[in-house]
Structure 1
Amino acid sequence: MKLLIVPAFLTGLLAAAPAAALPLPGTGLDISAEATLMSDYRFRGLSRSDGDPALQGALTVTSDTGIYTGVRATTLKGIDNFRFRNPRLQDLGDVQLELYGGYGTDVGAGLSVDGGVRYFAFVGGEGATNYFEPYASASYLLGPVEATVGANWAPAQRATGDEDMLYLFGELEAGIPLTPLTLTAHAGRQDWGRYGSYTNWSLGGRFALGVAQVGVRYVDTNLPSAPGQRGGIVGSVGVRF
């Protein structure tokens, strides 16, 4: 296992986390951005950067109605071990682009819901790589603790080997009172028809320093121990505004 946390300044293109949005006067829109350097890019527990550092940037525009849209870009390296089971896929390429749009709102009494569609496109990818994926989640906030459950479903399409892909997950976040520290836990299961299934989980935390955040977590799966899917510590440093 290795831990790499290094400072960086990136101009990038929002992950679900507190950030100071910039209002656009007279439009009813807010814009949020983030830029992050990670010691390893783990997508649902599996490395898409061959265990090497990766850069990620995101930009999101949100309406005061709750409708939002955005784009996220992440550098890649090598082949995702799990998706490699699909013989139609040759290489995911150099950059993963994630275009997304959806709607989120507070229902009340601490409950909020969110749903939308993502489209994954892979710059330089070989074979059938691009696919779309509807998603939905519900979160409940009680004091400093927030619990979230959700589902991501990619219906059968060429990039999924004509099989449905369903990812179910649960998350917990607990802010430590009077500190900038938040503890996090995640568990999920990916089911992919004839290409198999697996479970992943992570434990960690993040430390906020103004618009900057430093994070560390342990990530693992129940897949056989092999490069890109064995347990390891992932560090990150980024800015959000």
Structure 2
Amino acid sequence: MSYALKLACAALVGAAALPLSDAAMAADLAAPEAFVVETMSPIDVSFGVKFATEYNLRSVSQSKGDPAVQGYVEVSAFDWVYAGFWASNVNFGGADPTAELDYYGGVRHTFDALTLDAGFLYIDYVGQINGTRSLDFWKIYGIAKYAVTADFSVGANVYWTSDFVNIGDDSTHSSLFAKYSIPSSLMPIPDVGAYVSAEVGKFWIKSPILPDYTFWNAGVGFTYKAMTLDLRYTDSNLSRRECATFIGQFNSCGDRYMASLSFDTSFSKLK
């Protein structure tokens, strides 16, 4: 795929996601017609956009602590298969790419309270310095999530590749996560929801240079229709020297406080 075509894809995601707020509001205000029986379509398209104070991945900033704009489009079918595209600006050392484009797909299904997900992810960095080694690589992953109650869920994930950032080293990262949504009956404002969530994980790599490390995060969020405001703290046990080895910068690790505002919806919700 050419560099121009990749950037066009990223722009298309942003353009598709920007009208989310108006579209979601219009859908909520529309009154249903009488005596119409709605049938669920076996195919749905989800899309969204996020504005974040930084792009942080496993407690390592991918944007030098600068703000990030992200967007995605995902097609799902028959509550079983899905494929999607995600994009974000990035800013880090070495090859110094300007954007990350992710292409992914897999199988995901909910069995009562249990949701299982397995798939393939290709990470494509664009805008690298001419003549530098490509950072593009792939991962396979598995995710399990269990709804303990209607408001509380727990889960685990594992991601693996044999070619981390195209250097030929095996790497794995895995985490445990949990989320509690505050019951709507306890919220003082109608249509406003709230949650608390946390994650702890580990990154391993078979490399003589790059370090293994542990990461964690915790935060609170507030939802209103298609909008989510998330406030989060994250940290890891990476030292400044290890951070520079890992991402090419000394100050992209350590404790960080972040905020993001996202808008997410789907065609089925807009009907």
Instruction: Decide: shared fold, TM above 0.5.
Output: yes
Instruction: Write out per-residue CA displacement over residues 159-198 of structure 1, whole angstroms, 9 at most, x where no aligned residue.
Output: 3421111001111011011240011101111111122201
Distance in 2 of aligned mates of 1:39 and 1:156: 30
Distance in 1 separating the partners of 2:40 and 2:155: 33
Aligned residue among 248, 253, 259 for 1:235 = 259
Name the counterpart of 2:179: 173
**Deviation of 1:206 (Å):** 1.3
1:197 and 1:128 mapped to 2: Cα distance?
22
- Paired position in structure 2 for 1:7: none
One-letter identity of the residue aligned with 1:33? F
Change (3 A) 1:197 1:11: same
Corresponding residue to 1:151 among 158, 162, 166: 158
**Where does residue 184 of structure 1 map in the other structure?**
197
In the alignment, the residues of structure 1 paired with residue 40 and residue 221 of structure 2 have an alpha-carbon distance, to the nearest angstrom, of 34
Tell me which amino acid in the other structure corresponds to 1:37: F
Q: Distance in 2 between the 1:113 and 1:12 partners?
A: 28
Distance 1:107 1:26, change over 3 A: closer
Task: Determine if contact 1:137/1:148 at 8 Å carries over to the other structure.
Answer: yes
State the aligned residue count.
211
Letter in structure 2 aligned against 1:51: G
Judging by fraction of residues, say which structure has more helix: 2
- Bigger Rg over Cα: 2
Residues 37, 237 of structure 1: CA spacing in aligned structure 2 closer, same or farther, 3 A cutoff? same
Q: What's the counterpart of residue 95 of structure 1?
A: 99
Checking the alignment, whether the CA contact within 8 Å between 1:12 and 1:56 is kept in structure 2 is no
Q: Which residue of 1 aligns with 2:114?
A: 111
Q: Secondary structure at the match of 1:115?
A: strand
Q: What is residue 247 of structure 2 aligned with on the other side?
A: none
Alignment correspondent of 2:244 = none
Amino acid at match of 1:174: Y
Match runs of 1:78-93 below 5 Å? 78-79=92-93, 90-93=94-97
Report if aligned partners of 2:171, 2:205 keep a CA contact under 8 Å in 1.
Answer: yes
Matched-pair contact (CA < 8 Å) for 1:92–1:122: no
Whole-angstrom CA distance in 2 between matches of 1:37 and 1:139: 26
DSSP 3-state at the match of 1:11: helix
Q: Is the 8 A contact 1:118 1:134 kept in 2?
A: yes
Please give the alpha-carbon distance, in whole angstroms, between the structure 1 residues aligned to 2:216 and 2:15: 30
Q: 1:227 to 1:59 in 2, by over 3 A?
A: same
Quote the RMSD (CA, aligned, Å): 2.0
CA separation of 1:54 and 1:105: change in aligned 2, threshold 3 A:
same
Q: TM-score, normalised by structure 2?
A: 0.73
Task: Tell me the equivalent position of 1:86.
Answer: none
Gaps of 5+ in 2: 1-13, 18-23, 28-38, 188-192, 241-249, 266-271
Q: Is the 8 A contact 1:50 1:228 kept in 2?
A: yes
Q: Which amino acid aligns with 1:102?
A: G
Task: Report the counterpart of residue 215 of structure 1 in structure 2.
Answer: 230
Runs of 4 or more above 6 Å deviation: none
Q: By how many angstroms is 1:64 displaced?
A: 1.3
Q: 1:190 to 1:92 in 2, by over 3 A?
A: farther
5 Å matches for 1:1-241? Answer: 11=15, 28-79=42-93, 90-108=94-112, 110-125=113-128, 126-143=132-149, 144-156=151-163, 159-178=165-184, 179=187, 180-194=193-207, 195-225=210-240, 226-241=250-265
Give per-residue Cα distances to partners, 1:141-172, cap 9 Å, x unaligned.
01111101010001236x34211110011110
What is the DSSP-based 3-state SS (H/G/I as helix, E as strand, rest coil) of the residue aligned with 1:106? Answer: strand
**Would you tell me which structure has more strand in proportion to its own residues?**
1
| Partner SS state of residue 15, structure 2 | coil
Q: Deviations over 1:109-155 (max 9, x none)?
A: x1110010000000112412111100001111011111010100012
Using the alignment, how far apart are the partners of 1:182 and 1:12 within structure 2? 27
- Looking at structure 1, the residues matched to 136 and 172 of structure 2 have their Cα atoms a distance apart, in angstroms, of 16
Contact 1:74-1:96 at 8 Å conserved across structures:
yes
